[in-house]
């Protein structure tokens, strides 16, 4: 339980997930992890890039951002499948991952 509330550990997990994503061709350019700012991260605080986001189920916001609900959900499913079946690394940090479908628009499950 202590590791779950250790935000330094969570930041390391975020970077581990980012490394897996870098080597996953099926998700390249579709999913990113916000950069951790280590100079402001410790056991009780994690600081990372802020990215404007909306819930995957927020259809009006997805439509406003000109994102396909199907493509967004397909990306989320592909990410979870890669975690389970390819990497053997399922990170609850998926809630902090950002699904990218355009150069300037990000969508994240929350």
pLDDT tens string 43-101: 999 999 887 778 888 889 888 888 888 988 898 899 999 999 999 988 766 544 444 44
- Taking the whole predicted model, whether its pTM rises above 0.85 is answered as no
Neighbours of 36 (CB within 10 A): 21
What pLDDT does 103 receive?
A: 42
Q: Which residues contact 64 (CB under 8 A, 6 or more apart)?
A: none
- 3-class SS of residue 106: strand
If you search the block for the tokens 């870098």, which residue do you land on?
A: 22
Please write the tens of the pLDDT for every residue from 85-96: 999 988 766 544
Question: pLDDT class for 3, splitting at 50, 70, 90?
Answer: low
What pLDDT does 29 receive?
A: 80
């Amino acid at each position: 339980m202590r590791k779950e509330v250790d935000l330094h550990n969570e930041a390391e997990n975020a970077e581990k997930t980012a490394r897996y994503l870098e080597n996953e061709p099926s998700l390249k350019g579709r999913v990113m992890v916000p950069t951790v700012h280590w100079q402001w991260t410790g056991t009780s605080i994690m600081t990372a890039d802020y990215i404007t986001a909306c819930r995957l189920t927020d259809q009006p916001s997805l439509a406003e951002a000109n994102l396909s609900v199907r493509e967004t959900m397909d990306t989320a499913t592909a990410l979870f499948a890669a975690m389970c079946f390819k990497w053997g690394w399922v990170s609850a940090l998926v809630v902090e991952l950002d699904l990218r479908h355009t150069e300037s628009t990000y969508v994240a499950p929350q």
